[in-house]
Chain A
């Protein structure tokens, strides 16, 4: 088919489209959706004991860094999903991710100094993994749907940052529901779960997104 003929066909019976809101508006919508999902999870699973007590310095820093990661990774995903946006948006969430890992790293060192290597018992936290992956994957799916138009633009990075945002929100949700075991366990299992959600979405997200009409 000739290109000119294709143009005629595309223009024939053209339907109006709803213009996409700007990335900050999409981020606000996404944050609202994520907060609703976390709130629902807290209602279903119940909040952990001692939630009314003031947070420790570590928990506060960890939650703040996770929130910052969730928001900035979300914004990067919405920006990168648009054709004309600079690819340097991908750098935006990196300081927050660094801060998130940094707070956990500092907490780990503190715990090692306090308890010594023998004092640390390594165990698999299944509830932690299940919660972040169980909540993070459907939320990542929701994010993929919100950024489905990126399938034709930058599917991999958008799916990756979108899922990172979802997993970071799920990690915040976990701190409301599940008692923490100390920085080392938090680092290990939050990290593994967030990595799993982000990796799965980056790998399979683009393939799924291709199947969804923009």
Chain B
């Protein structure tokens, strides 16, 4: 919350503008709850700099911060029925963005801890680790050669381990298309890494 506060704590002239904007966002969100897609698109586009500011304050990596913004947008979409137009919009959306950014930060922390452990292990047994690295390198290369749709499907369903619904919402691919693309990706990788023709 502390990172979002400087954005909210503005001087008196800004206070009026902020209140007017919050009211506008609140009205747009109420319309979106009624199914007004145009109001929703306007609202999300106007909120985007605000969401980015929150996520970038938490996450130094720009790509990671943008992923957190996308997570926040998806969460906002899923829980849009919980917004009460009688209350300010900004704290509601800020809380969602904060939470998604913190999730990313925690995930990143765990990843770094794992990577550190692997680095320590490398010093103890470099030979075995080299083989692993080679295999990892080959795998990365093989994944890189997959068609874009298959790579996206693999990334979301197998690496990030999202549910099919979440992966579908994130990628815009249908669940059926995701299943087919994942299956094909795994099949290609298996053939390539076990020595068969690609």
**How many interface residues does chain A have, given as a range?**
20 to 34
B95 to chain A: which residues have CB within 8 Å? 83-84, 153
Other-chain contact of B78, A9, A84, A214 (Cβ < 8 Å): A214
A18 to chain B: which residues have CB within 8 Å? 81
Q: How far is the CB of B37 from chain A (nearest CB, A)?
A: 4
Other-chain contact of B73, A10, A83, A84, A213 (Cβ < 8 Å): A10
Binary interface profile of B, 89-108, with partner A (CB < 8 Å = 1, else 0)?
00111111001000000000
Asked if A124 is at the interface of the complex by the 8 Å CB criterion, the answer is no
Q: How far is the CB of B118 from chain A (nearest CB, A)?
A: 28
* Centre residue among A14, A18, A211 by max chain B CB count within 10 A: A14
How far, in angstroms, from A24 to B126 measured CA to CA in the complex? Answer: 61
Chain A residue nearest in CB terms to B44: A7
How far, in angstroms, from A11 to B82 measured CA to CA in the complex? Answer: 18
Asked if A22 is at the interface of the complex by the 8 Å CB criterion, the answer is yes
A204 to chain B: which residues have CB within 8 Å? none
A10 to chain B: which residues have CB within 8 Å? 40-41, 44, 73-74, 77
Q: How far is the CB of A3 from chain B (nearest CB, A)?
A: 6
Main secondary structure of the interface of B (DSSP, over half): helix
How far, in angstroms, from A1 to B75 measured CA to CA in the complex? Answer: 17
Binary interface profile of A, 140-176, with partner B (CB < 8 Å = 1, else 0)?
0000000001001100000000000000000000000
A17 to chain B: which residues have CB within 8 Å? 33, 35, 80-81
Asked if B79 is at the interface of the complex by the 8 Å CB criterion, the answer is yes
B171 to chain A: which residues have CB within 8 Å? 1
**Inter-chain contact A3/B73, CB cutoff 8 Å:** yes
Other-chain contact of B33, A6, A19, A210 (Cβ < 8 Å): A19
Q: How far is the CB of A19 from chain B (nearest CB, A)?
A: 6
Asked if A119 is at the interface of the complex by the 8 Å CB criterion, the answer is no
Q: How far is the CB of A1 from chain B (nearest CB, A)?
A: 6
Asked if B22 is at the interface of the complex by the 8 Å CB criterion, the answer is no
**Inter-chain contact B78/A3, CB cutoff 8 Å:** no
Name the interface residues of A82-97: CB closer than 8 Å to any CB of B.
Answer: 82-84
| A4 and B79 contact, Cβ closer than 8 Å, known pairs A11-B37, A84-B92 | no
How far, in angstroms, from A20 to B80 measured CA to CA in the complex? Answer: 9
Asked if A116 is at the interface of the complex by the 8 Å CB criterion, the answer is no
Asked if B153 is at the interface of the complex by the 8 Å CB criterion, the answer is no
| A3 and B66 contact, Cβ closer than 8 Å, known pairs A83-B99, A84-B95, A214-B79 | yes
Q: How far is the CB of B39 from chain A (nearest CB, A)?
A: 9
A153 to chain B: which residues have CB within 8 Å? 79, 95-96, 99
Chain A residue nearest in CB terms to B170: A1
**Inter-chain contact B172/A149, CB cutoff 8 Å:** no
Name the interface residues of B20-65: CB closer than 8 Å to any CB of A.
Answer: 32-38, 40-41, 44-45, 48
B170 to chain A: which residues have CB within 8 Å? 1
How far, in angstroms, from A153 to B83 measured CA to CA in the complex? Answer: 13
* Centre residue among A10, A13, A16, A20 by max chain B CB count within 10 A: A10
How far, in angstroms, from A8 to B70 measured CA to CA in the complex? Answer: 12
Binary interface profile of A, 10-44, with partner B (CB < 8 Å = 1, else 0)?
11111111111010000000000000000000000
Can you name 8 A-B residue pairings with CB atoms under 8 Å? A4-B48, A5-B172, A7-B41, A7-B73, A14-B32, A14-B40, A152-B78, A213-B165
The 8 closest A-B pairs by CB, nearest first: A16-B35, A11-B41, A17-B81, A84-B92, A14-B37, A83-B95, A7-B44, A84-B91
Taking Cβ atoms with an 8 Å cutoff, the residues of A that contact B are: 1, 3-20, 22, 81-84, 149, 152-153, 210-211, 213-214
